[in-house]
Amino acid sequence: MAHSTGLVQAILFEAADRDNIGGSAYGGQRSICCTPDLAKLEGCKQGEVIRRPSSDDPDWPYVLDTHFSGSHLSVKLEDEVVRITKTGMYNLFFISCDPKLRGLSMSGKTVWRNPGGYLPGRMAPLMKFYVFMSLAYLLVMVVWSSQYIRFWRDIMPIQNWITLIIALGLFEMTLWYFEYLNFNSSGVRPIGITTWVVTVGAIRKTISRLLILSISMGYGVVRPTLGGLTSKVLLLGLTYFLASELLDIAENVGTINDISGKARLFLVLPDAFLDAFLILWIFTSLSRTLEKLQARRSSVKLDIYRKFTNALAVSVIASVAWIGYEVYFKATDPFSERWQSAWIITAFWDVLAFVLLLVICYLWAPSQSSQRYAYSGEAADDDDEESQSLTKGTDGDVGMVKVDKDRSGGVSSAFSLEDEAEEDKRE
């Protein structure tokens, strides 16, 4: 009972000093524990972890020993405060080289604190980022609301949904800031606030994607409703919301580190599949809508949709390129030594969503002529656009312009009815 048996060592080290732990005998497999052969070569103590002092500080890697006493089956590691004076990515390992302790189990917690608070270094820049994003959404909300109130009589249904997305974005960014602020000051990630913020984010992302899909189908511009596709769109939205909510909860609620596990991989796949399916459906719908607008010679609407298509194409290309960079970033940095720039990986997606929202706000901004782009005024608009494009000639062509306008109007109306009938059949 008086002697110590069974050694457990806690090792704290910076990622850059990882080669100072362990060794290899005669060019064989690397070993963390000191074997008889390594004891002769390295001068280490058999049964303990091999540790070589760091070139910057001989006291590092930091090792804390704990022994079992006699035949006791449990032991308590006393609280230990370790002061770190060098910025870096630090790891804490608990290692036992004693074969008698095979199957050893541990429980407890570690507390890490940076000079600025409890937020990990890779997460700390995001707190300032969410402040800037909140201010950006607030600015957009002020500008959009002023236009919305000014031309409220001419508001289209699409513009009501855009208003909701801006409000949700502002609410989400503000919640993220307060969630990080609470975590930074308390050291505990609040489950309640985190659940709320990921839920608001999942709702915002779902409505944003459904809005883009609806616009691509021509809702409110080419067609008054989605018709038989409404139930399919809503079902897809509900499925995407559930997949996004589960993934965000697994990544953020009660979680501090970013170590990917099997559960996260399982949840990422449905989310990625739904995003790919949405992109395919969006561009297929856009192609059909552009064909309709070209056939109806709706030059103003066609110009808006072409700009919208280009913006979506750029965002998709940027997303694919960024996913490739993210995979490269994580594959080439297995020890998270580039942690100081890791926050950009998360921030990019919020910035991309915000930029795409700005494009949509610009294209469908409330104005005195908003109803001109709506489905209800389509026939009259086509006539106005046609007359505007043709009356730019000489005064002697005025009579011919009017005749051509009436003829083209009749042809356009006939095509519209026939096209809508075919679309109803497909639905």
What are the pLDDT digits (tens) for 337-366? Answer: 788 888 898 899 999 999 999 999 998 888
Q: Which residues pair with 92 in a beta bridge?
A: 12
Residue 334 dihedral angles phi and psi, to the nearest 5°: -65, -20
**Which tops the pLDDT comparison, 266 or 132?**
132
Mean pLDDT score, 201-219: 90
Q: Which two tokens stand for residue 337?
A: 């030594």
Residues 410-426 have a mean pLDDT of 41
Q: Select the more confidently predicted residue: 187 or 387.
A: 187
The residue among 300, 291, 297, 306 whose CA lies nearest residue 422 is: 291
30 versus 387: which is more confidently predicted? Answer: 30
DSSP tag of 42:
H
- Mean pLDDT value of segment 24-28: 65
Three-state SS for 144?
helix
CATH 1.20.1070 positions along the chain are 120-373
pLDDT digit string, tens, across residues 2-18: 455 778 888 898 888 88
Domain 120-373 - what CATH class?
Answer: mainly alpha
Give the confidence band of 372 by pLDDT, cuts at 50, 70, 90. low
CB within 8 A of 383, min separation 6: which ones? 405, 409
Residue with structure tokens 């001109």?
372
Mean pLDDT of the chain: 79
With beta carbons less than 8 A apart as the criterion, state whether 362 and 308 touch.
no
Contacts of 300 (CB under 8 A, 6+ apart): 372, 373, 381, 385
3-state secondary structure of 354: helix
Give just the sign of the alpha carbon dihedral 334, 336, 337, 341: positive
pLDDT at 421 over 50: no
For 149, 227, 286, 288, the CA distances from 421, given in Å and listed in that order, are 37, 12, 19, 15
* Higher per-residue confidence, 207 vs 103: 207
- With residues binned 3-state (H G I as helix, E B as strand, rest as coil), the percentages for the chain, rounded to 5, are 65, 10, 30
Q: What are phi and psi of 117, to 5 degrees?
A: 140, -170
Amino acid letter for position 226: L
Q: Which pLDDT score is estimated for 377?
A: 43
Asked whether residue 43 carries a pLDDT value surpassing 90, the answer given is no
pLDDT over 70 at 305, yes or no: yes
| 136 pLDDT higher than 80 | yes
- Cβ atoms < 10 Å from Cβ of 179: 22
Question: What pLDDT, on the 0 to 100 scale, is given for residue 346?
Answer: 87
Contacts of 155 (CB under 8 A, 6+ apart): 148, 366, 370
Highest mean pLDDT: which range of 251-260, 304-313, 413-422: 304-313
Which one-letter amino acid corresponds to residue 12?
L
- pLDDT (0 to 100) of residue 326: 86
- Which pLDDT score is estimated for 3? 52
Tell which wins on pLDDT, 300 or 326: 326
Q: How far apart are CA 168 and CA 58, in angstroms?
A: 52
pLDDT above 90: percentage of residues in the chain = 24
Q: Give tens-digit pLDDT for 88-133.
A: 888 888 888 877 777 888 888 888 898 888 988 888 899 999 999 9
Under 8 Å between Cβ of 154 and 367: yes
How open is the CA angle 218-203-318, to the nearest 5 degrees?
65
What gap in Å lies between CA 319 and CA 309, rounded to an integer? 15
Q: Where are the alpha helices (DSSP H) in 230-342?
A: 230-252, 262-296, 299-331
- pLDDT higher than threshold 80 for residue 42: no
pLDDT of 402 > 70? The answer is no
Burial label for 292, CB within 10 Å (0-12, 13-18, 19+), is buried
* 34 touches 49 (CB < 8 A): yes
What does the pLDDT average to over 71-89?
Answer: 84
CA–CA separation, 231 and 226 (whole Å): 9
Return the structure tokens found at 415.
């095509």
The answer to whether the Cα torsion of 328, 330, 336, 342 is positive or negative is positive
Instruction: Quickly list H helices, 121-220.
Output: 124-150, 157-186, 191-216
Record the tokens describing residue 314, joined without a space. 């750029």
Q: Are 372 and 221 in contact (CB under 8 A)?
A: no
